[in-house]
């Protein structure tokens, strides 16, 4: 396979990249950090300037990389592949509290698949060796060819287990009707004992362990997964001494999961508060089902946050889940005087989002 040299400015690092390999993949595997989030051409986090050379722009969304930007020489490193030696200029600002773990390939064995909520499964994979990662990062799975003979595809899921559990990784997967990785694999063909191919770790949405301000964490659906990793890491190793409040949103109790586990953590740790929020179920309905409604929030998660706090100045925000929920939570936190520079977000896109836009404000860290 032909290889080319990628020069990363302004640091002048050189990385060898194969022609069928993305620039992002080559750099991360070489331990050269480049900003990224979705890794499939949707979010625009990995956009950089091409200073020299030719590339194949790949399957970058026309919303994430607009026509005029292509004309200006910009590219998405998660999609672009070199067609010769290439020089790029990237924003290499890396958080001081974040250790950079080079991306590598792993073989895992599925040890557990279980239903944990409506259209949601927990998948636990035992890796062939230990992995280092930051709380909040994710892994990329190779989805095998389907019965119709379709090609292998990549899908990404956040790690829900803390970094201290370095071989058994937990994932929460929400089904997407017609999705190759979910409906066509995890929810139909994947079984305990199966071997899976995966790579990682990826992502910049991580717990800032050196920041002990009150962390307001908001998760919608399986957006709770990376937040669970952060919470268990923060409460388990003593590195984080600040308060943490988790708002987990769902339409009804059947859409929420790990409620008992989070309540146990709340009982054990004075600095952790758990607020499960139900948007389509009332306190009367919860009580009628024989469950104590106390502790639940009712209404949209943003309404519960606004009712709980007059101001959030001096806090930090971690938002994860569907783009619409993340955007709504962002507006709520900002209305409560939380500055954009103190809000971190991770939007859960799927393949359909490539054609639907979703480029976010560059003011918000991802």
Residue 251: both structure tokens together: 């339409």
Residue 108: both structure tokens together: 């895992």
Is 302 found in the same domain as 271? yes
**In the predicted model, what is the mean pLDDT of the chain?**
91
Domain-located, residue 360: no
pTM for the whole structure? 0.89
Task: From 136, 161, 155, 200, select the one nearest 344 (Cα to Cα).
Answer: 136
Q: What is the CATH number of the domain that holds 246?
A: 3.40.50.80
Is 113 found in the same domain as 45? no
Domain-located, residue 70: yes
Is 350 found in the same domain as 232? yes
Last residue of a domain, one of 202, 226, 248: 202
Is 244 found in the same domain as 313? yes
Start-to-end C-alpha separation, the chain: 34
Kindly state the average pLDDT of the residues 329-334.
96
Which residues lie below 8 Å from residue 50, measured CB to CB, with a gap of 6+? Answer: 73, 74, 75, 86, 87, 88
Q: What are phi and psi of 302, to 5 degrees?
A: -65, -35
Residue 6: both structure tokens together: 């990628």
Residue 81: both structure tokens together: 């592949």
Domain-located, residue 210: no
Is 336 found in the same domain as 238? yes
Domain that holds residue 154: 104-202
Q: How many domains does the chain have?
A: 3
Which residues lie below 8 Å from residue 230, measured CB to CB, with a gap of 6+? Answer: 135, 136, 206, 207, 217, 318
Last residue of a domain, one of 160, 181, 202: 202
Is 298 found in the same domain as 176? no
Is 244 found in the same domain as 305? yes
Strands 272-278 and 47-52: unpaired
Is 132 found in the same domain as 48? no
**Longest pairwise C-alpha distance within the chain:** 67
Domain-located, residue 362: no
Domain-located, residue 365: no
Say what angle helices 301-308 and 323-335 make with each other, to 10 degrees. Answer: 20
Residue 280 and residue 252 in contact, taking contact as beta carbons nearer than 8 Å: yes
Residue 332: pLDDT above 60?
A: yes
Domain-located, residue 207: no
Last residue of a domain, one of 173, 202, 231: 202
Domain-located, residue 15: yes
Is 239 found in the same domain as 164? no
pLDDT tens-digit readout, 161-185 = 999 898 999 999 999 999 999 999 9
Strand blocks (E) in the chain: 3-9, 13-18, 47-52, 55-56, 74-76, 81-82, 86-89, 104-117, 120-127, 138-143, 153-158, 168-174, 195-202, 215-220, 244-250, 272-278, 297-298, 316-321, 343-347
Q: What is the CATH number of the domain that holds 152?
A: 2.40.30.10
Residue 362: pLDDT above 60?
A: no
Domain-located, residue 325: yes
Q: CA separation (Å) from 106 to 1, 125, 127, 174, 324?
A: 22, 11, 7, 23, 33
Q: What are phi and psi of 2, to 5 degrees?
A: -70, 135
Is 247 found in the same domain as 274? yes
d(CA 42, CA 352): 10
Is 348 found in the same domain as 220? yes
Buried b (16+ CB within 10 A) or exposed e, 308-319: ebeebeebbbbb
Is 239 found in the same domain as 153? no
pLDDT at 361: 35
Kindly state the average pLDDT of the residues 291-311.
93
pLDDT tens-digit readout, 50-98 = 999 999 999 888 889 999 999 999 999 999 999 999 999 998 766 666 7
* Omega cis (within 30) before 328: no
Buried b (16+ CB within 10 A) or exposed e, 348-357: bbbbebbeee
């Amino acid at each position: 396979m032909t290889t080319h040299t990628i020069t990363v400015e302004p640091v002048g690092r050189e990385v060898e990249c194969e022609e069928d390999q993305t620039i992002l993949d080559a750099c991360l595997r070489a331990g050269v950090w480049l900003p990224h989030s979705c890794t499939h051409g949707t979010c625009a986090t990995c956009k950089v300037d091409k200073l020299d050379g030719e590339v194949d722009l790949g399957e970058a969304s026309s919303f994430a990389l607009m026509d005029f930007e292509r004309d200006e020489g910009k590219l998405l490193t998660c999609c672009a592949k070199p067609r010769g030696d290439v020089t790029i200029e990237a924003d290499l600002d890396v958080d001081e509290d974040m250790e950079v773990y080079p991306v590598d390939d792993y073989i895992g064995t599925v040890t557990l698949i279980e239903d944990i909520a409506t259209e949601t499964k927990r998948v636990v994979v035992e890796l062939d060796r230990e992995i280092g990662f930051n709380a909040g990062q994710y892994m990329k799975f190779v989805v095998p060819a389907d019965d119709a003979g379709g090609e292998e595809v990549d899908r990404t899921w956040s790690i829900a287990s803390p970094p201290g559990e370095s071989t058994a990784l937990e994932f929460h997967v929400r089904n997407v009707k017609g999705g190759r990785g979910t409906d066509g694999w995890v929810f139909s063909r994947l079984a305990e004992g199966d071997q899976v191919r995966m790579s990682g770790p990826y992502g910049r949405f991580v717990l800032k362990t050196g920041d002990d301000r009150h962390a307001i964490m908001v998760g919608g659906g399986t957006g709770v997964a990376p937040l669970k990793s952060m919470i268990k890491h923060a409460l388990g190793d003593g590195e984080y001494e600040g308060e943490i409040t988790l708002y987990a949103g769902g339409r009804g109790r059947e859409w929420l999961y790990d409620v008992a586990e989070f309540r146990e953590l709340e009982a054990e740790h004075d600095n952790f508060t758990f607020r499960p929020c139900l948007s389509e179920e009332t306190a009367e309905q919860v009580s009628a089902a024989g469950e104590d409604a106390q502790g639940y929030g009712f209404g949209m998660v943003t309404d519960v946050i606004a009712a709980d706090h007059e101001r959030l100045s001096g806090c930090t925000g971690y938002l994860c889940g569907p783009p619409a929920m993340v955007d709504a939570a962002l507006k709520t936190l900002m209305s409560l005087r939380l500055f954009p520079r103190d809000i971190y977000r991770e939007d859960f896109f799927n393949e359909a989002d490539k054609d639907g836009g979703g480029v976010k404000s560059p003011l918000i860290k991802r």
